Amino acid sequence: PTRVLDVSAGDNHNLVRLVSGADVQGVYATLNHCWGNLPVQTCCRASISELRRNVPWESLCKTFQDAILVARGLSIKYLWIDSLCIIQDDNDDCQREIGNMACIYSNGCVNIAAAASVNGSGGCFANYRRYMTPWELEWGPLTKRGWVVQERILAKRIVYYGEDQLYWDCAEGRESECGIDVSFYGSKDLGSNGGFRMLKASIEHGDEEVWERVVELYTRCDLTKPNDKLPALSGIAMTYAAVTGMTYIAGLWKERLPCQLLWTVARSPQSTHLSFYRAPSFSWASIDGAVSF
């Protein structure tokens, strides 16, 4: 990544700094979180110099603090958080970093997912209940966030901090803290045995029909910023283009247009036409709401 947070602390437990990725060596973790309706600490042009000296611990929301503690507990020195590692009021920097998402998430050592937190105040560490519900992982607030689709697909391994337990997901399989087999959970429209793992494998092998499955899943999620509709899938698109050599056109692939133009709006009150231009009308990205092929 262009920037990461140095969370190694040393003798000062509260010391966190923003550093250049080119100046450091070692593995890093990434964070999946919901921004929600509460403000979180961000990096902007006016604050970046100060953040390079120190990111005040008390200014960090609970989810960020917990993610730092997780990284330290795993002896991971660096952590990537979108709001702090991308200059939020610099459009050029935002576009450049969005273009790097495939590399950022696929090269991270582990993805820390605050799966049960609706905003920055929820944190990672829940008050665990006596009775655990492994299916809550797929119906929690994090899985409704559009950006998370590509983050989950691209990450090598993910540790989920759910409402009532921990979950682990990697290429070898999925495990839950309570010991229940959760290999079939998390699939939704994606089939069994950990749908996102299968989806990633299909993308890496250039499966011609996988894109339609990605779009169907993605359009059922929410975006805070409507203009992020295509950028939030750009990492997967870049990976898929590199494998297949196909040409990307506004959320569709030129070589498969006869099939991919056959999308239809799912019956949903949330499906709406936009009052502004975002994509050509032949693209599913021209509307908000779930689509199917």
60-78 pLDDT, tens digit per residue, is 999 999 999 999 999 999 9
The mean per-residue pLDDT over the stretch 44-55 comes to: 96
Q: In the predicted model, is pLDDT for residue 136 greater than 80? A: no
The mean per-residue pLDDT over the stretch 273-293 comes to: 90
- Rounded to 10°, the helix 234-244/210-218 angle is 180
Q: Which residue has the higher pLDDT, 183 or 204?
A: 204
Any idea how long the chain is? 293
Which of 18-32, 170-184, 268-282 holds the top average pLDDT? 18-32
